Each structure stands twice: as structure tokens, then as C-alpha cells.
């Protein structure tokens, strides 16, 4: 298969498996999405979805959020991990949204990345899922799968994002990044991986990855 045929195989397989694409993090507007994505760093979406209702019951907009202290926010979000940094970020960005953006989440990568605790990946998720702007946020699942599929050298997430954007059509980015995440969780996890169920890696996967898998199975 040529690189182009491999890319088309990935796209077609993912659209067959996930014609309807659920959004992993529960939210009702750009602000609650921004907070949920920030909280998901080094945590699971399942855990974040358990905690965000407790936080949003107290404050689901920046005006109510800054009425809480950083310590109060931290107490609520403690189960998601990294709560000291995340609580400061949530309080700090809520203050900036009010002071600089009339309480609204800005619709640009630059303005989002200027907010406390908001990196490029968080900004990309918000731009893509809240505003429909083409973006390709790379999480650990996408990074792992792009390497397994021999579509990137996997040196770092920055390179993986560049390669994904170069290989996949821009109009599909917003769907594809979510489809790959769901596929990674379901068929190509980091642990407990069964190559027989992972049709994409089995068909187009990096030879060294497949050989290492087979060696481990034999040992």
C-alpha cells in the first residue's frame, strides 16, 4: 500500500466504525468545555465527567467561578489529580475571561494559549469542538496510534500533530482526531492490546511494532 492508500484505509475504517462521533467530555458551552479539557490533563475523561457536575453546580460560568476561592475549587476537583495547578488555572483564566474577553471564551488559538494552564492541545480541543475550527489535538492515544500505523516517527506530539495535519484532509481533522481516540481506547490500547482485534495496525502497522508484539506473545 502507498502512504495515500494507507491514509484512505484509516479514514474509511474509522468512518465505518464511528459514523456518529460522541464527544468524550460532558459540557454545555465553550466555557464548560474549556474547564473540562483543562481538568482532563493526566486524568481520564470518565473521572473528569464524574467531577465536573459537582464543580459546575457551584459555578458554570466565569463570573460564578471567581466567587469561589482557589482552595474551594481545589477541594472539588481534587480527585482528577494535579489539583493545585488546575484550580489556580481555572480561577485565573476565569478572571482573565471577565477582564479581557467580556466573560466569553475567545475564538483564537493565540488568545486561548495566553490563558493560565491552557496549552496548545487544550486550545486545539476547544477550537475544534466548541467552534468547529479545524484542529488536530494530539493526545496519548493519537500519538501511540500514529506511530503504530507508521504515519509518524513518534518522536514527540508536536511532530505527530504536524504529520497528521499533513497526511489527513483538513475538513476531516475534527472528526478524525476523535475517531482515532475512540479507536485507540477500544481496539489499540497501550495495555492489554490484542493485535487480532486491531484491524488498522494489523493491516498497515509498522513492522517493528508488529514483530515486537509477536515476540512478546511467544515469550
* CATH code where residue 15 lies: 1.10.1670.10
Residues 184 and 124 both lie in one domain:
no
Residues 125 and 143 both lie in one domain:
no
Tell which of 131, 159, 194 closes a domain.
131
Q: CB under 8 Å to 118, separation ≥6 — which residues?
A: 34, 38, 89, 93, 112
Q: What is the pLDDT of residues 111-153, one digit of tens each?
A: 999 999 999 999 999 999 999 999 999 998 999 999 999 999 9
Q: Answer yes or no: is 207 within a domain.
A: yes
Per-residue model confidence (pLDDT) at position 219: 77
* CB-count exposure of residue 55 (10 Å: 0-12, 13-18, 19+): buried
Q: Answer yes or no: is 195 within a domain.
A: yes
Q: Answer yes or no: is 127 within a domain.
A: yes
Q: Answer yes or no: is 111 within a domain.
A: yes
Per-residue model confidence (pLDDT) at position 86: 98
Residues 15 and 56 both lie in one domain:
no
Q: What is the pLDDT of residues 166-193, one digit of tens each?
A: 999 999 999 999 999 999 999 999 999 9
Per-residue model confidence (pLDDT) at position 67: 98
For the chain, the domain total comes to 2
> How many CA atoms, within 13 angstroms, populate the side-chain half-sphere of residue 70?
11
Q: Which residues are catalytic?
A: 121, 139
Q: Can you give the residue range of the structural domain that contains 65? A: 30-131
Q: What is the 3-state secondary structure (H, E, C) of the chain?
A: CCHHHHHHHHHHHHHHHCCCCCCCCCCCCHHHHHHHHHHCCCCCHHHHHHHHHHHHHHCCCHHHHCCCCHHHHHHHHHHHCCHHHHHHHHHHHHHHHHHHHCCCCCCCHHHHHCCCCCCHHHHHHHHHHHHCCCCCCCCHHHHHHHHHCCCCCCCCHHHHHHHHHHHCCHHHHHHHHHHHHHHHHHHCCCCCCCHHHCHHHHHHCCHHHHHHHHHHHHC
User: Residue 25: pLDDT above 80?
Assistant: yes
Per-residue model confidence (pLDDT) at position 103: 98
Residues 173 and 195 both lie in one domain:
yes
Q: Answer yes or no: is 25 within a domain.
A: no
Q: How far is residue 167's CA from residue 161's CA, in Å, rounded to a whole number?
A: 10
Domain of 122, CATH number, reads: 1.10.340.30
Per-residue model confidence (pLDDT) at position 116: 97
Residues 142 and 123 both lie in one domain:
no
Q: What is the pLDDT of residues 30-75, one digit of tens each?
A: 999 999 999 999 999 999 999 999 999 999 999 999 999 999 999 9
For residues 176-193, one letter each, b for 16 or more C-beta atoms within 10 angstroms of the residue's C-beta and e for the rest, the string is: bbbbbbbbbeebbeeeeb
User: Residue 217: pLDDT above 90?
Assistant: no
Residues 11 and 60 both lie in one domain:
no
Please report which confidence band the pLDDT of residue 218 belongs to, taking 50, 70 and 90 as the band edges: confident
Residues 107 and 167 both lie in one domain:
no
User: Residue 154: pLDDT above 90?
Assistant: no
Tell which of 131, 156, 184 closes a domain.
131
Record the pTM.
Answer: 0.91
Tell which of 94, 112, 131 closes a domain.
131
Amino acid at each position: 500500500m502507498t502512504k495515500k492508500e494507507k491514509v484512505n484505509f484509516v479514514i474509511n475504517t474509522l468512518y465505518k466504525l464511528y459514523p456518529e462521533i460522541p464527544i468524550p467530555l460532558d459540557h454545555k458551552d465553550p466555557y464548560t468545555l474549556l474547564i473540562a479539557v483543562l481538568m482532563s490533563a493526566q486524568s481520564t475523561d470518565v473521572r473528569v465527567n464524574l467531577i465536573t457536575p459537582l464543580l459546575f453546580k457551584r459555578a458554570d460560568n466565569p463570573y460564578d467561578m471567581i466567587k469561589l476561592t482557589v482552595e474551594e475549587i481545589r477541594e472539588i476537583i481534587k480527585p482528577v489529580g494535579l489539583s493545585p495547578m488546575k484550580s489556580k488555572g481555572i480561577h485565573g483564566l476565569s478572571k482573565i475571561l471577565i477582564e479581557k474577553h467580556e466573560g466569553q471564551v475567545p475564538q483564537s488559538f493565540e488568545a486561548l494559549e495566553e490563558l493560565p494552564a491552557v496549552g496548545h492541545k487544550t486550545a486545539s480541543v476547544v477550537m475544534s469542538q466548541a467552534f468547529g475550527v479545524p484542529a488536530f489535538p494530539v493526545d496519548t492515544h493519537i500519538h501511540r496510534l500514529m506511530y503504530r500505523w507508521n504515519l509518524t516517527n513518534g518522536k514527540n506530539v508536536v511532530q505527530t500533530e504536524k504529520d497528521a495535519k499533513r497526511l489527513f484532509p483538513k475538513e476531516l481533522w475534527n472528526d478524525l482526531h476523535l475517531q482515532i481516540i475512540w479507536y485507540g481506547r477500544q481496539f489499540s490500547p497501550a495495555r492489554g492490546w490484542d493485535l487480532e482485534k486491531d484491524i488498522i495496525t494489523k493491516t498497515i502497522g509498522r513492522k517493528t511494532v508488529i514483530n515486537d508484539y509477536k515476540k512478546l506473545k511467544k515469550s
